[in-house]
Structure 1
Amino acid sequence: MGGVEVEAMSDIDWIRISRICAGYGGDLKREKVGETDLRVPLDNDTWLVKFLRPCKYYPKSAYELIKRYYAFKIKHANVYDGLLPSREKNIFQQDILTVQPNRDQFGRRILVIELGKKWKHKKCSLDEVFKGCVLFLEAAMLEPATQVAGAIVIFDMDGLSLQQTWQFTPQFAKRIVDWLQDAVPLRIKNIHIVNEPYIFNVVFALFKPFLREKLRGRIIFHGTNRESLHQHISPECLPECYGGTLNLPRIEGPQWLELLILSDKEYEAINSYGYKKKEKK
């Protein structure tokens, strides 16, 4: 399924959804009975559909996802409180995160994370990297085509050093895995690890205990084998550095920052929903 087909399908899907969201909204309101601490806009179709699509429109499953999504935000309030592009300039200025301007052959968004030689770990923490990923995926969740087709992630670990591996902790690994498995209302279809040195095994060992079978099966290691990568992502959708033929300029981190800052108000709206914070006694 190509990008154009996904766009068309998402448009048709949206017409169908706009007709039935009222019914689902009613179902979700019934699911929400008793959850007085959770503030969410169940009458907003645009908001509602981003939880319904990944759950194949089952109201109960969608509501469970909503609760997990907002519970995760409360649990990790140190990351999510006041999270806005304008407050996270450093991660974008480091230019180790980007979303490609194109989609893959299945219409999926492509997020690239470079945590090897480009990552200056003394200038940019893993928490900042995580915040940048959250900002990107929150934006992707609003795209109908991405809600339908999902996204893929490329981790480029070229040049990963021993000092960098020490930045990873079991606590950080668990947070990432919990987020991906339980709290992201978006289909993450595959995670591709490329250019990983042998020392990356030390990092991955931290994540393995928390991975369930479904996500573990979606993590694919390629090393420097571009033919292996191309079995999953068409060379036409990849830049030259990954053996591809894509002739579109890379969108640099500072460019993404300029674009995302324009949506600060939208992120403020996103941050306004969720569980009420318990007052400290």
Structure 2
Amino acid sequence: MASASVMLVQPVGEMWQKIREELNENVNTRDQDLAAIKDWLKKQPHLPDEWEDRCLLTFLRGCNFSLEKCKRKLDMYFTMRAACPEFFTNRDITRPELMDLMSRAQGPTMPGLTPAGRRVTICRGLDKNLDTHQLNDAFKIAMMIGDVRLMEEIEGVAGDVYILDASIVAPSHLGKISPSALKKFFICVQEAYPVKLKEVHVVNSTPLIDTLFNIIKPFLKEKMRNRIHFHSDYKALHEYVPKELLPEEYGGTSCALNEINLAWVKKLEEYKDWFLKQESLVANESLRPGKPTNYDELFGIDGSFRQLSID
């Protein structure tokens, strides 16, 4: 079984060097950049005074060490923590509803890295009777994994590849999907997390997925829409993702996805106390200089991203 202690293999050697260059990371000035962000954070009355250095470094890397972009991302991250308690509170993976969901749907990040230094995450449902009312909990777990990665991507990666398995999507799901939940989730992914999304591969795609994509499309930036690929079988997927990084369920030679998923359950259990401490680290809009964030404007289901200007 995949050990939770080796969930994320870190880049070394030539790959490490290439990733440093891609992230615009200068090991000689990195500590100065980190100190500048920490100093900025202390001066923001509406944001937490302190946060783990590891998390801040992950944000800097995700922003190519642009201090201004990093500040905007961090502000949005803590803003979303306050604005979306359905995603960022009660994050105890041992709660029965979350354990049940982890047994009926999976979204683990694989341990290894592609030749380009990218991390691969695979999401699939196992139960055709999954109810869309569990969508918020699914998004919660996805961001729990994302937060663990803020801590444990010690060397940084050159981006992310997501594989979405559409095999259990049914017509009954489409009418029950909450546009509000979708929009909040995609704002988090695109604006609040230091994610460099390089590719999205939808496997077991059917005409029904085209309909679902049309529902989701308004919430996606054009850059992200252009990075989505649809595949009817796994053979086409292998042209993008090496077999050694894919589990056996997808024609690969890595650990079974079930094993990786169980290892992530254990890892999330280890972070139980950490998640609880994080709940108080949110933006306080009553202390924000200038105009407080208007959640209604931010989350209005009108396709508008007026407030979101981060590249």
TM-score, structure 1 normalization = 0.82
Deviation track 1:163-200 (CA, whole Å, cap 9, x = no partner) reads: 12233232222123212211112222221111022111
How do 1:1-281 and structure 2 match up within 5 A?
A: 3-5=11-13, 8-9=16-17, 17=27, 20-26=30-36, 29-30=39-40, 33=43, 35-41=44-50, 44-87=52-95, 88-115=98-125, 118-122=127-131, 125-144=134-153, 147-224=156-233, 226-244=234-252, 246-250=253-257, 251=259, 253-276=261-284
Question: CA 1:235/1:149 → structure 2, altered by over 3 Å: closer, same or farther?
Answer: same
Deviation track 1:107-136 (CA, whole Å, cap 9, x = no partner) reads: 322221114x53532397111111111111
Question: CA 1:18/1:79 → structure 2, altered by over 3 Å: closer, same or farther?
Answer: farther
Give how far 1:16 is off: 5.5
Contiguous gaps of at least 5 residues in structure 2:
1-9, 288-311
Give 3-state SS (helix, strand or coil) of 1:51's partner: helix
Give how far 1:27 is off: 5.5
Distance 1:29 1:240 in 2: 47
Question: CA 1:268/1:161 → structure 2, altered by over 3 Å: closer, same or farther?
Answer: same
Give how far 1:264 is off: 1.3
Question: CA 1:4/1:65 → structure 2, altered by over 3 Å: closer, same or farther?
Answer: same
RMSD in angstroms over aligned alpha carbons?
Answer: 3.1
Q: Is the 8 A contact 1:86 1:261 kept in 2?
A: yes
Q: Is the 8 A contact 1:174 1:210 kept in 2?
A: yes
Contiguous gaps of at least 5 residues in structure 1:
none
Q: Percent identity?
A: 21
Q: Is the 8 A contact 2:93 2:268 kept in 1?
A: yes
Q: Is the 8 A contact 1:41 1:47 kept in 2?
A: no
Distance 1:197 1:103 in 2: 29
Q: Is the 8 A contact 2:107 2:121 kept in 1?
A: yes
TM-score, structure 2 normalization = 0.75
